[in-house]
Amino acid sequence: MTTPPSSHGPDTPLRTFGRIKSRPIKPRQAALFDTLMPQVQVPDPSAGPIDLAALMPGAKAAWLEIGFGGGEHLAAQAARHPDALMIGCEPFLNGVASALRHIEEGGLKNVRLHADDARAVVDALPDGSLDRIMILFPDPWHKARHNKRRLIQPEFAAKLASKLKPGGRLRFVTDWKDYAGWALERFLATPGLRWLADEASDWKVAPQDHVVTRYEEKKLGDTDPLFLEFEKV
């Protein structure tokens, strides 16, 4: 099985995710790294700006999912929106293998994957190029001494906002109360983002287009999922 070269180096930002592999990858999925991955892989973001039009000519929208886990949400959204380019980033190789299986089984032509840190892809995307950004259940790093490893930091929140088109949406979902509060504080302080919530049900009830993931079903956090939705203004 071949794997993409790592972008990690001495200047790499503090790691925001845990392990990159657990159990052995099943032979069928491992084979997809050699056959399918080269077809759907996002170009090396360290090589320069990413040309979204080249990734999917004629795409009517561009979505980014950061940390797609097993890929079931990414694949389901891709199937629902075949005219939209779906970029998924995930450093956990078992999850990438699962996503490749979903892509193959669904015959999905609009998904592109990056098997590494999403921040490199975000850096390489043009400003104002994304219609949706989805961040579902990122590593909570819930011990106080590890909070600095959380994905959502002021600088990254500002960068995400810069990549959205006017009217574009950012969705952050977590099942840890402390991380929800942490993320909300930082997104509210980000110029250009407006929180789309008027009452408690707006963050406690899943949006109509939400896809329940295997991780979500495990109920590993300290609360039911909390949904924070923002709009680029």
- Binding region: 65, 90, 117, 139, 143, 175, 213-216
How many alpha carbons lie under 13 Å from residue 176 in its C-beta half-sphere? Answer: 15
Q: What is the largest CA-CA distance in the chain?
A: 49
- Both tokens of 18, joined, read 């845990």
* DSSP classification of residue 144: G
Catalytic-residue membership of 139? yes
- Nearest-5° Cα angle at 5, 98 to 62: 60
Question: Looking at 139, 178, 198, 209, which residue is catalytic?
Answer: 139
Give 84's contacts (C-beta < 8 A, 6+ positions apart). 59, 60, 61, 62, 63, 78, 110, 131
Binding residues for substrate: 143, 175, 213-216
DSSP-assigned letter for residue 207: -
Backbone angles phi, psi at 225, to 5 degrees: -55, 140
**Amino acid residing at 166:** P
Comparing CA positions, the residue from 192, 179, 124 lying closest to residue 153 is 179
Neighbours of 51 (CB within 10 A): 12
Indicate the angle between helix axes 93-106 and 72-80, nearest 10 degrees: 30
Catalytic residues: 139
